[in-house]
Copies of this chain bind each other. A is one copy, B any other.
Amino acid sequence: MGKTKVSNAIIRRLPRYRRYLGYLQTKGIKKISSNELSEMIGYTASQIRQDLNTFGEFGQQGYGYEVDRLYKEINKILGLDREYKTVVVGVGNLGQAITNYTYYYKIGFNIIGLFDVNPKIVGNVINDVEVMDSADLEEYVRREKIDIGIICVNRENAQRVADELVAGGVKGIWNFAPIDLDIPEGVALESVHLSDSLHALSFMIKRMNEEAAE
Q: Which residues of A contact B (CB under 8 A)?
A: 1-3, 6, 11-12, 14-16, 18-19, 23, 41-42, 77-80, 84, 93-94, 96-98, 100-102, 104-105, 108-109, 147-148, 155, 171-174, 178-180, 186-190, 192-214
Contacts and interface: CB of A to CB of B under 8 A. Distances in A.
A148 B197 contact: no
Contacts of A213: 2
Given A19-B193, A204-B188, A205-B171, A93 B84 contact: no
Contact of A199 (B6, B14, B198, B201): B14
A209 B2 CA distance: 9
A211 B2 contact: yes
Nearest to A171: B205
Given A93-B101, A96-B97, A171-B208, A199 B18 contact: yes
